[in-house]
């Protein structure tokens, strides 16, 4: 790896495999793991049942808890410690723009802008992508209670919002991975191919579109 990638963030829509990949990378590269505390949000299950009613509470809870985690990174010596996270701080804003109405978003953005300036940027962002129907099936398979009411229509919104946001992203080097046809959890070959791509030193945005193992 060298010293150039001490902080890696894995991103992508719900069900795409962010946490699985982050765990595997941390183990493989000897890094510390920073995981999003999704299950700690008391509003999330209610949100999936009634998005409009519970959106603002859900987003603000996520924003503040993610900030609390992320601000601790600025106190670490990233020359001595490697961090692999299963989320990017920016992800909260992506979901806020989907879920909040105009007045709620104005309030949210005021808070977000105060916090975002204090956040440490990753040395590499890995964006996992997959089609909404694939995400829906993976969510069903893992059977998380808070996610059981997620609709295909909502996943379509999320996938589109991610595509739009990262099309313009330039705050860190960005590796975009088509995760539809690979299984890096069960296939060591798939994981090692992806790992070689991650270890490559590049700037800007580049794309990894594997042939797949399935």
What is the SS3 string spanning the chain? CCCCCCEEEEECCCCCCHHHHHHHHHHHHCCEEECCCHHHCCCHHHHHHCHHHHHHHHHHHHHHHHHHHHHHHHHCCCCCCCEEECCCCCHHHHHHHHHCCHHHHHHHHHHHHHHHCCCCCCCEEEEEECCHHHHHHHHHHHCCHHHCCCCHHHHHHHHHHHHHHHHCCCCCCEEEEECCCCCCCCCHHHHHHHHHHHHCCCCCEEEECCCCCC
What is the topology classification, in CATH, of domain 29-120? Answer: Rossmann fold (3.40.50)
- The overall average pLDDT reported for the chain is 89
Per-residue pLDDT of 110-146, as tens digits, reads 999 999 988 889 999 999 999 999 999 989 888 777 7
Domain ranges of the chain: 29-120, 122-153+161-214
- Residue pLDDT, tens place only, 19-56: 999 999 999 999 999 998 888 899 998 998 999 999 99
């Amino acid at each position: 790896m060298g010293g150039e990638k001490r902080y890696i963030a894995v991103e992508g829509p719900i069900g795409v495999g962010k946490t699985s990949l982050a765990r595997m990378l941390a183990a493989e590269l000897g890094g510390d793991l920073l995981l999003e505390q999704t299950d700690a949000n008391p509003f999330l299950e209610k949100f999936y049942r009634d998005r409009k009613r519970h959106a603002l509470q859900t987003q603000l809870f996520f924003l503040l808890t993610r900030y609390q985690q992320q601000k601790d990174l600025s106190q670490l010596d990233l020359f001595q410690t490697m961090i692999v996270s299963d989320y990017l701080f920016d992800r909260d804003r992506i979901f806020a723009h989907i879920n909040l109405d105009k007045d709620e978003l104005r309030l949210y953005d005021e808070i977000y802008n105060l916090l975002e300036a204090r956040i440490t940027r990753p040395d590499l962002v890995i964006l996992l992508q997959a089609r909404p129907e694939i995400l829906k099936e993976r969510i069903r398979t893992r059977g998380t209670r808070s996610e059981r009411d997620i609709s295909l229509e909502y996943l379509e919104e999320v996938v589109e919002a991610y595509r739009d946001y990262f099309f313009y992203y330039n705050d860190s080097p960005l590796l975009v991975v088509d995760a539809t046809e690979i299984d890096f959890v069960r296939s060591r070959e798939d994981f090692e191919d992806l790992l070689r791509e991650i270890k490559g030193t590049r700037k800007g945005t580049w794309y990894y579109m594997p042939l797949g193992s399935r």
